[in-house]
Amino acid sequence: MTVLDPVDRARPPTPIGADRPDAASADLREIDGRTVAFFHLDGRSEDSSGAAEAEVVERALALAEQIGCPVVGIVRSVAVAPDGVDALVAWGRVAARAVRLSGVVPLLLAVTGPIHGSLAPLIGLADHVVVTEGATAYVNGPTPVRRVTGRTLDADELGGAVAHATRTGVASLTAVDEDDARRALADLLDHLPDHHLTDPPVRPTGDPPTRRCSAAAAAVPAEAVRAYDVRAVLDDVFDAGTVLEVHAGRAPNIVTAYARLGGRSVAVVANQPAVRAGTIDIDASCKAARHVQGADALSIPIITFVDTPGYEPGRDLEWRGMIRHGAKLVHAYAAATVPRLGVILRKAYGGAYIVMDSRTTGNDLVLAWPTAEIAVMGAPGAVAILHRRELDAAEDADARRAELEDAYQATFLSPRIAAERGLVDQVIDPADTRRVLGAALERLRTKRPTLPERRHANEPL
C-alpha cells in the first residue's frame, strides 16, 4: 500500500520541537497506519539549516530510538547558516545520532532540492534515499571542482538524480517530484520493520503459496551462454506485483530488491545474466553487500538467485581493489543471521560461487535447478587448461575438445553431484521454486543464532 499524503487526518501529528514552517519541522505521525518520526527540512530562508533546525531533527531521531519507530525525512537545504560553527557542531550531533540508530530503526530520506556541504553526509547514513528530478547533493560544488581540477560541471552533472542513481549508489529510487517521493518512501517502508527486534509487516496478497512458477522456469535458457533477464524469474517466484527493485541503475549486472513471499517481506539478490553475463565487479559486490547487510540488520530474510560465471576480469578492477571489495559480499553474507535461502539457476563458478551465499558461508537452504553448474569454472575454460597439451597434439582438436567438454560437463557440472557432496540441499523442478522457498521461509522464521562475543567484526571497507 502507498499513500500520497502520509498524514492520517483522523489522528493529528504530535509535534516534535519548535515548528519552523520555512526551515524545519518534525512530528510523530502515521504512514499506512504505522507510527514514524517524520521531519521536513526545507531550507528556503536565508536563516535556515542552522543549529536550531539540527536540534529539531536530532530530537526526532532520539524519539524514534526511544519508541522504536522508523524515521522518514524530506530534506532540501544548502547548509549555509548564519550561526557558522554552531551549526556544524549541531549537524555533527545529528550524524552521530543517525549512526546510533543504524540497524535499530529504518532511516529513510527523500532529497527534493539541494543538499550541499555539511548536510551531505546525513543522506549517506540513511538506509534508503529517494532523489527527485532537479535535486542535487554533493560535498563540494561545481566551483571548487573547477578550481581544483579545472573541469567545468554543472550541479546536475556533479550530483543530480541520475548521477546518484547510476554512479554513486546514494539513490535507492528516483522520483519525479515530492509527491512521487512520498509514495516511494511509503513503498520502501512497507517492506521494513518498525525496529530490529520485530518483523516487517505481513501483507497477504492472495497469491497462492503453492502456485507453480512456469514463467520463471521458461525464462532461463538451458544453454549456459544465452542471456536472459533474471527479473522475469523474480516476478514469477514472488507474490504478484510485490517486487520492488532498489539501486536498479547502479551495477545492473546484479539485482537487489525487496519482495513478498506468502505475504512476508524478503530481501532479494540476483545475478543478472542480461548484463555482462552476470559477472561480479566492484560496484556489484558493494551494492549487493550493502543490501544484504541492511536486510540482516533489520531482520529481513534474504533470498539469493545465482547465475554467474565469476568475477569480471580486468587490470583496472584488480588495481581498484577487487579482492578487498569482493570480500565485502562474502563478509556480509557470512555475518548475516537472518534466514538465508538460495537458488542456483545455472552457473555458479569459482570464487563467485562462494560469495553468492554458498552452503559453506552459512546458507540455510541451497536449492538448484537441473540446469545448475557448480564448479571452479565452466567446461570450455577447464578443458583448455587441463588438456592443453592433448589438444595441441590432436589431429582434430575441435572434435576432441567437444568430447572433453561433454565429459567434464557430465562429471563435474551436474547439480546432483553437488547435492551428493552436500553443496546443494535439493535439486528441484524450477516450477516448484515458489512452493519450496515459501515453505522453508515459514519454517525458518524463528531462527535465532548465537553470535560470538566481540566488539564488532573488521569489515573490509
| Mean pLDDT, range 12-39, rounded to an integer | 84
| Mean pLDDT, range 230-238, rounded to an integer | 98
DSSP designation for 12: -
Do both 237 and 299 map to the same domain?
A: yes
- Phi-psi category of residue 428: left, alpha or beta, with phi > 0 → left and psi -120 to 50 → alpha: beta
Do both 150 and 235 map to the same domain?
A: no
Do both 368 and 317 map to the same domain?
A: yes
* Domain at 279, CATH number: 3.90.226.10
199 in a domain, yes or no?
Answer: no
**Would you say residue 359 has pLDDT above 60?**
yes
DSSP designation for 205: -
| Mean pLDDT, range 157-183, rounded to an integer | 95
The kind and range of the H/E element at 159 are: helix 155-159
Do both 234 and 330 map to the same domain?
A: yes
pLDDT, mean over the chain: 88
How many domains is the chain built from? 2
Do both 179 and 231 map to the same domain?
A: no
90 in a domain, yes or no?
Answer: yes
**pLDDT given at position 247:** 98
Do both 263 and 177 map to the same domain?
A: no
Do both 259 and 142 map to the same domain?
A: no
Structure confidence by residue, pLDDT tens digits, 387-425: 677 777 777 877 777 777 777 776 666 677 776 777 889
Structure confidence by residue, pLDDT tens digits, 204-227: 999 999 999 999 999 999 888 899
Cβ atoms of 105 and 69 closer than 8 Å: yes
Rg value, the chain, Cα: 24
3 in a domain, yes or no?
Answer: no
Cβ atoms of 211 and 434 closer than 8 Å: yes
Residue 323 CB burial class (10 angstroms; 0-12, 13-18, ≥19) = exposed
**pLDDT given at position 452:** 84
Structure confidence by residue, pLDDT tens digits, 62-120: 999 999 999 999 998 755 555 568 778 888 999 999 999 999 999 999 999 998 877 78
**Would you say residue 382 has pLDDT above 70?**
no
The count of other CB atoms within 10 Å of the CB of residue 130 is 28
**Would you say residue 1 has pLDDT above 50?**
no
What whole-number percentage of the chain has pLDDT above 90?
Answer: 64
454 in a domain, yes or no?
Answer: no
Record the cell numbers describing residue 178, joined without a space: 515530492
Record the cell numbers describing residue 65, joined without a space: 530510538
Task: Give me the domain span that covers residue 275.
Answer: 214-378+413-443
396 in a domain, yes or no?
Answer: no
Residue 63 CA to residue 58 CA, distance in Å, equals 9
Do both 171 and 227 map to the same domain?
A: no
395 in a domain, yes or no?
Answer: no
Measured at the CA of 30, the angle between CA 26 and CA 32, to 5 degrees, comes to 140
303 in a domain, yes or no?
Answer: yes
Do both 160 and 234 map to the same domain?
A: no
Do both 227 and 364 map to the same domain?
A: yes
* Cα→Cα distances 439→84, 161, 392, Å: 57, 40, 52
Query: If pLDDT is split at 50, 70 and 90, which confidence band does 44 have?
Result: low
- Phi-psi category of residue 98: left, alpha or beta, with phi > 0 → left and psi -120 to 50 → alpha: alpha
Q: Which of 189, 222, 257 is the last residue of a domain?
A: 189
Weakest mean pLDDT among 3-17, 45-59, 265-279:
3-17
**pLDDT given at position 455:** 85
Do both 425 and 296 map to the same domain?
A: yes
**pLDDT given at position 4:** 42
Amino acid symbol at 132: T
Query: If pLDDT is split at 50, 70 and 90, which confidence band does 3 have?
Result: very low
Cβ atoms of 114 and 136 closer than 8 Å: yes
Query: If pLDDT is split at 50, 70 and 90, which confidence band does 184 have?
Result: very high
User: Across 322-438, where does the E strand assignment appear?
Assistant: 340-349, 365-368, 373-375, 426-427
Residue 431 CA to residue 367 CA, distance in Å, equals 13
Record the cell numbers describing residue 219, joined without a space: 525464462
Q: Residue 172: which of 121, 248, 115, 113 has the closest Cα?
A: 248
Q: What is the phi/psi pair of residue 118, to 5°? A: -70, -20
Alpha helix stretches (DSSP H) within 253-305 = 282-297
Do both 112 and 175 map to the same domain?
A: yes
120 in a domain, yes or no?
Answer: yes
**pLDDT given at position 22:** 56
Helix (H/G/I), strand (E/B), else coil: 368: strand
